[in-house]
A and B are shown apart, each in its own frame.
Chain A
Amino acid sequence: MDYQVLTMGAKTGSLPRPRKNYLNESHGFMSWAGTLDHKRIGIMYLVGVMTAFLMGGTFALLVRLTLLTPTHMLFGKVLMTAETYNRVFTLHGAIMVFLFIIPAVPASLGNFVLPLMLGAKDVAFPRLNLASFYLWVTGALMAILAMVLGAVDTGWTFYTPYSTTTDGPVTLMTSAVFVLGFSSIFTGLNFIATVHKLRAPGMGWFDLPLFIWGIYSTALIQVLATPVLGITLVLLMLERGFGIGIFDPRIGGDPVLFQHFFWFYSHPAVYIMILPGMAIISELIPTFSHKTIFGYRAIAYSSVSLALVSFIVWGHHMFVAGQSQLATVVFSALTFLVAIPSGVKVFNWLCTMYEGNISLETPMCYAISFLILFTIGGLTGIFLGTLSTDVHLTDTYFVVAHFHFVMMGGTVTAFLGGLHYWWPKMTGRMYSEKWGRTACVLYTVGFNMTFLTQFFLGSKGMPRRYYNYLDQFQPLHAFSTMGSWVLGLSLFMTLAYLLASLRKPMDAPDNPWGGTTLEWQCSSPPIMHNFEDQPVVARDPYDYRPVKVR
């Protein structure tokens, strides 16, 4: 037999490109709206979540603009009243959490990449996948309808008793979240079944790319936590409609019980948001360091253990809400556990980069940005898990800065990295590397201007969600607002050059970065069935040694 020696990490793609791919296999509106192909559903989700990101981002820019001066004046006019302000930050939070971050990575990039990485033809239940997308659309339309009907001013957490007494379409908004929850459950259920049953021949659990481990852990939380949010929101709606006396203290209910129920979902939901981000980083770092991942099993186990730990720390959201002192101490101690698997990941990524042959293409720039921002976000989380400091920092901008460092600095940065990483695979086109790196640098600078500032604001005592503030806070608020403009500019730039790349003819090689996982072995863009022949796995997922192939 003839063998040739080939480095697995080599950039390939000179093969004749197949004439048909998933993008041009069929045409017309229905070929997309009724598709069962995971790749097309992933693209539709991507368009959906990016639209939600644009909406939520616009509201965020408006919130920051209002806070530019303590008088909220711009060009001699009051920008928005306190009531409007409450509505706008609620919309920002609710849209970003439920419509964007939760589905962002799993449902869009995950849907596209997960079956490819497994060497499968599709997810386990293609029809359920499409149903999940339409549930997302329904939920999104309901949320938009609630906005049109007068918007909700409860914050995205819908805390009782305010949410049971305030006017406005709270019931419609919570119904929207209920529907979105089921969309998320269906995606998670589908992914678990797919990972269990549709792995390529020869692919054991420890041959899975680490992206899959992250998405799998996320899916476990989606399936096991989201139903509790569903029933909590039903109880909230019934409390508003029937006065059943569970959450409203005037009729014998317990508002802290609502907080327990809510955070029993919403704390694990934080890991629904961050685990897929970590999953992407675990792909980017070895690919652009051109080196085998350090501590494969440690990273895999840390994903699953984060998913498990996420279920037993919800009480740290209620340190000052009147839960017992014993519970508070126990939840604080458990919260520190989160630092262990997070730290394991960060150190393993750093060790992967150590002595690697690092190339700073756009996805890697985002990965490095992630490492910095996520580490700051994670470490400030320890401040908030510590009882004595948390009592002072609760409900200040310190908390706002902390979770934006994790949610945006972590998840959104990783999402952008993943989007740039798989963009050639999804669209068959390369974007401008120069613009990509510029946008990434602007993004990181703008992000730190906006949110690093808020740590200072919070530790000086600026409470979160307040419309009014003392004059002494103005310089920091103004600096943060200017940062939000830089951040906004970088994101609009990204949108522009990514869309511009679509006008070019398809120029992306099959494996532009020298990745070793299976999705780089099919063509860019992939054919309808993903692979010409069923792939069979015989090597580690991050093997960069030279190999003999037939």
Chain B
Amino acid sequence: MSTTSVDLPSHGGHGDAGHIDDPHHQHHFTTMEQQFDTAKLGMWLFLATEILLFGGLFVGFGMMQGRYPREFVEAHEHLVRWQGALNTVVLLFSSFTMVMAVQSAKNNKKDKTVFFLFLTIICACIFLVVKYFEYSHKFEEGWLPGKFYSAKGDSIPGSHGYATFFAFYFMMTGLHGIHILAGIGLLSWILMRAKRGEFSNAYYTPVDLVGLYWHIVDLIWIYLFPLYYLIQ
């Protein structure tokens, strides 16, 4: 390969020291646009790994449902359908507020960005409060995962199906819940940055990326809700 030298602006120090023109512009990118596209590609790849992480659990659930079809249907009656439905609505609404937050950041509307991020965090908290009531009800009744399962009165004696159903219920909603918690952390972080006025039309990458993350967390719940609450 032959190389010739071209005139490009010389960049500042190594690391994240940035360009003189824009402190967010990292040294190894030629343009801000290239930097934004790269960050977005990285986020999409990360989201692919999230899908595969949950994918293993979905496959496991499918296998076990095939093994205990009757127990799974019976065990799912213990879940409160309206609570799941409420959480679905809350998360869908939070996806809307997230979109609005990204849009506001892109349009240099600082106050609106902060407002919509705040609303998104509130929705996430409502989701967790509902989940708290759901979980504590199951703890009281002994509908617990695996060897801790201690509920009375299920119709097939000696079957592991109920314990396995609740094991998957707690694993999948639990892992999803951890993602909600991480999301609250991320949202709070960009809320603080938005308050300091760090985002503008020229640089709103973190808002956009956290938005993508939040949508995937929402999307996974869209699949979890019918899987657990609506099976027949």
A contact residues vs B (CB 8 Å cutoff) = 8, 25, 36-37, 119-122, 124-128, 185, 189-190, 192-193, 196-198, 201, 207, 223-228, 230-232, 235, 238-239, 242-246, 251-252, 254, 257, 261, 516-518, 521, 528-529, 532-541, 543, 547, 549-550
Determine the residue in chain B with the shortest Cβ distance to A518.
B1
With A252-B160, A536-B4, A543-B1 as contacts: A242 and B146 at CB distance below 8 Å: yes
Shortest distance in angstroms between A399's beta carbon and chain B's nearest beta carbon?
A: 26
Q: Which of A198, A235, A239, A549 contacts B2 (CB 8 A)?
A: A549
Shortest distance in angstroms between B209's beta carbon and chain A's nearest beta carbon?
A: 12
Q: Is B57 an interface residue (CB 8 A)?
A: yes
Shortest distance in angstroms between B43's beta carbon and chain A's nearest beta carbon?
A: 9
Is the pair A245, B14 in contact by a Cβ cutoff of 8 Å? no
Q: Is B164 an interface residue (CB 8 A)?
A: yes
Stretch at the interface among B47-55, B112-120, B199-207, B224-232: B47-55
Q: Is B76 an interface residue (CB 8 A)?
A: no
- CB-defined contacts of B146 to chain A, threshold 8 Å: 238-239, 242-245, 251
- Please, could you name 24 A-B residue pairs with CB atoms under 8 Å apart, sorted by A? A119-B3, A122-B28, A128-B42, A197-B34, A197-B37, A197-B38, A198-B34, A235-B56, A235-B57, A238-B167, A239-B146, A242-B145, A242-B147, A244-B163, A245-B163, A257-B60, A261-B59, A518-B1, A521-B3, A536-B4, A538-B1, A541-B1, A543-B1, A549-B2
Is the pair A193, B41 in contact by a Cβ cutoff of 8 Å? yes
Shortest distance in angstroms between B159's beta carbon and chain A's nearest beta carbon?
A: 8
Is the pair A547, B2 in contact by a Cβ cutoff of 8 Å? yes
Q: Which of A127, A201, A243 contacts B16 (CB 8 A)?
A: A127
A245-B146, A261-B56 known, 17 other contacts, Cβ within 8 Å: A121-B28, A124-B41, A126-B16, A127-B16, A193-B38, A201-B6, A224-B52, A227-B53, A227-B55, A228-B53, A239-B146, A244-B145, A245-B64, A245-B167, A252-B67, A539-B1, A540-B1
- Assembly CA distance A225 to B56 (angstroms): 11
Q: Which of A36, A120, A231, A547 contacts B56 (CB 8 A)?
A: A231
- Of B5, B26, B29, B146, most buried by chain A (CB within 10 Å of CB) is B146
- CB-defined contacts of B80 to chain A, threshold 8 Å: none
Shortest distance in angstroms between A289's beta carbon and chain B's nearest beta carbon?
A: 18
Shortest distance in angstroms between B7's beta carbon and chain A's nearest beta carbon?
A: 9
- Assembly CA distance A254 to B164 (angstroms): 12
- Assembly CA distance A124 to B145 (angstroms): 42
Is the pair B56, A198 in contact by a Cβ cutoff of 8 Å? no
Is the pair B160, A245 in contact by a Cβ cutoff of 8 Å? yes
- CB-defined contacts of A225 to chain B, threshold 8 Å: 52
Is the pair A534, B148 in contact by a Cβ cutoff of 8 Å? no
Shortest distance in angstroms between B161's beta carbon and chain A's nearest beta carbon?
A: 7
- CB-defined contacts of B86 to chain A, threshold 8 Å: none
Q: Is B46 an interface residue (CB 8 A)?
A: yes
- CB-defined contacts of B42 to chain A, threshold 8 Å: 124-125, 128, 189-190, 193
Q: Is B63 an interface residue (CB 8 A)?
A: yes
Shortest distance in angstroms between B24's beta carbon and chain A's nearest beta carbon?
A: 14
With A120-B28, A246-B64 as contacts: A232 and B56 at CB distance below 8 Å: yes
Is the pair B171, A252 in contact by a Cβ cutoff of 8 Å? no
Is the pair A36, B14 in contact by a Cβ cutoff of 8 Å? yes
- Assembly CA distance A537 to B50 (angstroms): 36
Q: Which of A232, A235, A251, A547 contacts B160 (CB 8 A)?
A: A251
Q: Is B23 an interface residue (CB 8 A)?
A: no
Shortest distance in angstroms between B86's beta carbon and chain A's nearest beta carbon?
A: 28
Closest 3 CB pairs of A and B: A244-B167, A231-B56, A243-B147
Looking at chain B, what size class is its interface with the partner chain? 35 or more
Is the pair A8, B2 in contact by a Cβ cutoff of 8 Å? yes
Shortest distance in angstroms between B39's beta carbon and chain A's nearest beta carbon?
A: 8
Is the pair B38, A124 in contact by a Cβ cutoff of 8 Å? yes
- Of A224, A232, A547, most buried by chain B (CB within 10 Å of CB) is A224
- CB-defined contacts of A8 to chain B, threshold 8 Å: 1-2
Shortest distance in angstroms between A549's beta carbon and chain B's nearest beta carbon?
A: 6
- Assembly CA distance A252 to B63 (angstroms): 12
- CB-defined contacts of B1 to chain A, threshold 8 Å: 8, 207, 516-518, 521, 535, 537-541, 543
Q: Which of B3, B145, B161 contacts A252 (CB 8 A)?
A: B161
Within 8 A of A (CB), among B20-46: 26-30, 34, 37-39, 41-42, 45-46
- Assembly CA distance A242 to B11 (angstroms): 55
Shortest distance in angstroms between B29's beta carbon and chain A's nearest beta carbon?
A: 8
- Assembly CA distance A257 to B56 (angstroms): 11
- CB-defined contacts of A207 to chain B, threshold 8 Å: 1
With A36-B16, A245-B160 as contacts: A533 and B53 at CB distance below 8 Å: no
Determine the residue in chain B with the shortest Cβ distance to A232.
B56
Q: Which of B8, B16, B27, B171 contacts A534 (CB 8 A)?
A: B8
Determine the residue in chain A with the shortest Cβ distance to B168.
A244
Q: Is B15 an interface residue (CB 8 A)?
A: yes
- CB-defined contacts of B163 to chain A, threshold 8 Å: 243-245, 251
- Assembly CA distance A466 to B56 (angstroms): 33
Is the pair B50, A227 in contact by a Cβ cutoff of 8 Å? yes
- Of B6, B34, B45, B167, most buried by chain A (CB within 10 Å of CB) is B45
- CB-defined contacts of A528 to chain B, threshold 8 Å: 14
- Assembly CA distance A261 to B56 (angstroms): 8
- Of B16, B37, B42, B145, most buried by chain A (CB within 10 Å of CB) is B42
Shortest distance in angstroms between B221's beta carbon and chain A's nearest beta carbon?
A: 18
- CB-defined contacts of B148 to chain A, threshold 8 Å: 242
With A228-B56, A238-B171, A257-B63 as contacts: A518 and B3 at CB distance below 8 Å: yes
- Assembly CA distance A124 to B205 (angstroms): 15
- Assembly CA distance A127 to B14 (angstroms): 12
Determine the residue in chain A with the shortest Cβ distance to B161.
A252
- Assembly CA distance A239 to B164 (angstroms): 11
- Assembly CA distance A347 to B112 (angstroms): 62
- CB-defined contacts of B26 to chain A, threshold 8 Å: 126
- CB-defined contacts of B145 to chain A, threshold 8 Å: 238, 242, 244
- Assembly CA distance A451 to B229 (angstroms): 55
With A227-B53, A230-B53, A244-B164 as contacts: A539 and B2 at CB distance below 8 Å: yes
